[in-house]
């Protein structure tokens, strides 16, 4: 009797089967689970559990990101040039799933009683190792988005489904850590258990994508040939990409400031640490509920306009949190719903916009370089995340934050500013940039027609 071979989901040029979208969403869940847990809890784990000074911890994270200047574009470039029977993207998912699971666990395994120097080195090395395997798997995974379909609206549909997986991942990453760690007398043990659970989830989710999704046959892939420096130069000469990257970077910084400071805001200003999970769950449920609303707005207008107006709403909600008084949980819930409503546009639009700029690059270079684009995108994403955590840590030091104690009026004011008005201001700057974004449904359709004619002429 022959062994059972499961049906594989083949990548098409236009419309995609729902099953493929759902599998991709599961992979998204695993990655965003880690991103969420790290964004919400890594800094407060370092400061309040591992007892590392905020400035020291945030500086160590920033130093650990230096490797990112190289690894995201590098691994993107390598995957563009990869020729393998397992696919130029899928091969990295197959061999990277287990190592990423292991280093994800190690991230939360800080030994006790470390000196300042040793703690600094531990954070730098463990985070750099985690980031390496995250990049090796995440850049090829994201690069598949541009290869799944080349249709302007189908890419939005794909990301709408995939974003549901991302929302679930973010929700679990935001809600489960307090629930898991709260079940242990020793918080350090709780974080170790959490790291093991989350590492297992991400490893299995990546393995599922590698098992169920096949790439096009090697002869249908446009393997890139540009040297790495020439590839980087060509990427940064793509004007629509630079506009999108700038907007995305500012939004990522804004959201990271809120994400990293929200545990401090809820615990020390609102005085409701027991409501942390409920508030974060409310945020992510709201994001999930309105994902298809922003897809509808995108279908009726454009991706960039949907993104712009969503961010404007999010900024209004963020600023409103500064007006909330201590203990006003009902008003906080209302502000969170407004923030989640606007934020849901970020889970669809930019990730559906990025594949469109790759056709602009193909028109100039004659190559498909998804890996390089997603590598640069991932690089900026992670730099902004780390910069946001660094700024929160430095800000806490500047306002004399004291872990596990009642905060001074100065500290509370600093926490409120970092959580609300500063991120809101950043989001306002992005609005006019997105309104001027040049890639529309019509322009992208015309570009694809030109590319098709060029390919036919070459044949």
Q: What is the pLDDT of residues 303-329, one digit of tens each?
A: 999 999 999 999 999 999 999 988 888
Give the pLDDT band (50/70/90) at residue 280: confident
Compare 108 and 66 and report the one with higher pLDDT. 108
What residues form DSSP beta bridges with 214? 10
User: What percentage of the chain has pLDDT greater than the value 90?
Assistant: 41
CATH of the domain at 186: 1.20.1250.20
Domain membership of residue 413 as a residue range: 19-454
Q: Does position 459 have pLDDT exceeding 80, yes or no?
A: no
For residue 94, pLDDT over 90 is answered with yes
DSSP 140-178: HHHHHHHHH---HHHHHHHHHHHHHHHHHHHHHHHHHHH
Q: What is the pLDDT of residue 422?
A: 96
Would residue 74 count as lying in a domain? yes
pLDDT in tens, 155-165: 888 888 888 89
Among candidate residues 174, 179, 396, 207, the one with its CA nearest the CA of residue 285: 174
Confidence of residue 458 (pLDDT cuts 50, 70, 90): low
In a domain, 8, yes or no: no
Cα gap 444→352, rounded to integer Å: 13
Mean pLDDT of 31-51: 86
Token pair listed for 168: 């679930």
Using only C-alpha atoms, the chain has a radius of gyration, in whole angstroms, of 22
What's the angle, vertex CA 236, arms to CA 437 and CA 65, rounded to 5?
Answer: 105
Residue 201 lies in a domain: yes
Question: Model pTM?
Answer: 0.77
Residue 405 makes CB contacts below 8 A (sequence gap 6+) with none
Residue 220, pLDDT above cutoff 70: no
CA distance 254 to 246: 12
Q: Does the residue 398 lie in any domain? A: yes
The tokens 């120097």 sit on which residue? 117
Check whether 10 has a pLDDT greater than 50.
Answer: no
Q: Using CA atoms, how far apart are residues 268 and 327, in angstroms rounded to an integer? A: 10
Is the predicted pLDDT of residue 224 greater than 90, yes or no? Answer: no
Residue 14 lies in a domain: no
Instruction: Please tell me the predicted confidence (pLDDT) of residue 45.
Output: 86
- Lowest mean pLDDT: which of 4-8, 145-149, 367-371, 389-393? 4-8
Q: Using CA atoms, how far apart are residues 76 and 28, in angstroms rounded to an integer?
A: 18
Predicted confidence (pLDDT) per residue in 246-262, tens digit: 999 999 999 999 988 99
Q: Look at residue 118 in the predicted model and tell me its pLDDT.
A: 86
Paired with 10 in beta bridges are 214
Q: For the chain, what is the total number of helices (H) and then of strands (E)? A: 18, 2
**Residue 12 belongs to some domain of the structure:** no
Proportion of the chain in helix, strand, coil states, percent, rounded to 5:
80, 0, 20
Let me know if residue 3 belongs to a domain. Answer: no
Please state, in angstroms and rounded to a whole number, the distance separating the CA atoms of residues 160 and 33.
17
- Given a contact cutoff of 8 angstroms between Cβ atoms, the answer to whether 21 and 158 are in contact is yes
Convert the pLDDT of each residue in 390-402 to its tens digit: 899 889 989 989 8
Task: Give a yes or no: residue 302 inside a domain.
Answer: yes
Q: Contact 197/33 with Cβ under 8 angstroms?
A: no
Cβ atoms of 149 and 15 closer than 8 Å: yes
pLDDT in tens, 335-374: 999 999 999 999 889 988 988 888 888 888 888 888 889 8
Q: How many CB atoms lie within 10 A of CB 265?
A: 21
Which pLDDT tens digit goes with each residue over 42-54? 888 888 888 888 8
List C-alpha distances in Å: 108 to 37, 126, 193, 263: 11, 9, 9, 18
Q: Look at residue 217 in the predicted model and tell me its pLDDT.
A: 58
If one counts the domains in the chain, the total is 1
Of the chain, the percentage scoring pLDDT greater than 70 comes to 93
């Amino acid at each position: 009797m022959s062994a059972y071979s499961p049906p594989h989901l083949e990548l098409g040029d236009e419309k995609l089967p729902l099953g493929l979208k759902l599998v991709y969403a599961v992979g998204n869940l695993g990655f965003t689970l880690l991103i969420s847990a790290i964004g919400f809890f890594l800094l407060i784990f370092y400061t309040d559990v591992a007892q590392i000074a905020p400035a020291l911890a945030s500086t160590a994270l920033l130093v650990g990101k230096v490797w990112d200047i190289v690894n995201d574009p590098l691994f993107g470039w390598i995957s563009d040039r990869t020729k393998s029977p397992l696919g130029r993207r899928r091969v990295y998912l197959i061999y990277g799933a287990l190592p990423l699971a292991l280093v994800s666990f190690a991230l939360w395994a800080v030994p006790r009683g470390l000196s300042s120097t040793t703690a600094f080195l531990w954070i730098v090395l463990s985070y750099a190792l985690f980031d390496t395997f995250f990049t090796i798997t995440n850049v090829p995974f994201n690069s598949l988005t541009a290869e799944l379909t080349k249709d302007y609206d189908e890419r939005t549909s794909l990301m709408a489904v995939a974003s549901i997986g991302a929302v679930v991942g973010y929700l679990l990453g935001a809600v489960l850590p307090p629930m898991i760690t709260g079940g242990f007398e020793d918080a350090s043990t709780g974080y170790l258990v959490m790291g093991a659970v989350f590492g297992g989830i991400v490893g299995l989710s990546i393995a599922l994508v590698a098992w169920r999704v096949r790439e096009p046959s090697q002869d249908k892939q446009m393997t890139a040939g540009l040297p790495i420096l020439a590839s980087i130069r060509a990427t940064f000469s793509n004007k629509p990409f630079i506009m999108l990257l700038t907007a995305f970077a500012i939004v990522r910084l804004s959201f990271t400031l809120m994400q990293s400071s929200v545990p401090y805001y809820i615990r020390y200003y609102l005085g409701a640490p027991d409501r942390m999970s409920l508030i974060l769950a409310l945020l992510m449920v709201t994001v999930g509920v309105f994902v298809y609303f922003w897809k509808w707005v995108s279908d009726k207008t454009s991706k960039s306009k949907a993104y712009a107006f969503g961010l404007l709403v999010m900024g209004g909600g963020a600023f409103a949190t500064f007006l909330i008084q201590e203990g006003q949980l009902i008003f906080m819930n209302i502000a969170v719903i407004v923030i989640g409503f606007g934020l849901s546009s970020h889970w669809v639009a930019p990730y559906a916009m990025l594949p469109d700029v790759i056709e602009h690059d193909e028109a100039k270079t004659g190559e498909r370089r998804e890996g390089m684009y997603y590598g640069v995108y991932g690089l900026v994403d992670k730099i902004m995340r780390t910069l946001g955590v660094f700024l929160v840590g430095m800000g806490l030091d500047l306002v004399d934050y004291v872990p596990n104690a009642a905060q001074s009026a100065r500290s509370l004011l600093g926490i409120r500013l970092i959580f609300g008005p500063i991120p809101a201001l950043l989001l306002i700057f992005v609005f006019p940039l997105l309104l001027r974004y040049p890639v529309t449904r019509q322009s992208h359709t015309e570009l694809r027609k030109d590319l098709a004619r060029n390919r036919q002429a070459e044949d």
